[in-house]
Structure 1
Amino acid sequence: MATTDDSVRSRTQDAFPVDNPVQALQRDHDLVRKLADAYRNTQSADVRKQAATQLIQAIHMHSRLEEGVFYPGVRRVDPNLIARFEEDHLAVDDLLATLQGMSLDEARTEPLVRELIDAVLSHIRQEEEQLFPELKQAALDLTSIGMEMQAFEANLVHMQAQLSDQASRR
Structure 2
Amino acid sequence: MDANMHENRGAFPVDRPVEALLRDHNMVRKLVETYRNSQSLEVKQEAAPQILMLLDMHSKLEETVFYPAVRKLDPSLIGHFEEEHHKADDLVQSLQSMTMDDPQAEQMFQQLIDMTMHHIQEEENDFFPKLEQANLDMTEIGLQMQAFEANLVHMQAKASDQSMRR
Which residue number in structure 1 is paired with residue 55 of structure 2? 59
Identity of matched residues, %: 54
- Out of 8, 14, 20, the residue aligned to residue 18 of structure 1 is 14
How many Å separate the matches in 1 of 2:33 and 2:4?
16
**Quick check: 1:74 aligned with 2:70?**
yes
Structure 1: distance between partners of 2:141 and 2:6: 22
Q: Tell me if structure 2 keeps the 8 A contact 1:95–1:112.
A: yes
> 1:169 offset after TM fit, Å?
1.2
Aligned position for 1:136: 132
TM-score (norm 1): 0.94
Q: Is the 8 A contact 1:92 1:116 kept in 2?
A: yes
User: 2:64 & 2:47 partners in 1: Cα distance?
Assistant: 25
- The reply to whether residue 150 of structure 1 matches residue 146 of structure 2 is yes
Counterpart-to-counterpart distance in 1, 2:108 and 2:147: 32
Gaps of 5+ in 2: none
Q: Provide the rounded CA distance (Å) in 1 between the counterparts of 2:95 and 2:4.
A: 18
User: Is 2:115 the partner of 1:119?
Assistant: yes
Instruction: Quote the Cα distance in structure 1 between the aligned partners of 2:114 and 2:3.
Output: 25
CA apart distance, 1:143: 0.5
Q: Mind listing any 5+ residue stretches in structure 1 that lack a counterpart?
A: none
After superposition, the CA RMSD in angstroms is 1.2
1:49 counterpart residue number: 45
Residue type at the aligned position of 1:119: M
| 1:36 corresponds to | 32
2: CA distance, partners of 1:99 / 1:156 = 20
Task: Tell me how far apart the structure 2 counterparts of residues 29 and 60 of structure 1 sit (CA, whole Å).
Answer: 13
1:89-146 Cα shifts (integer Å, max 9, x gaps) = 0110110111012122212211111111000000000000011000001000110000
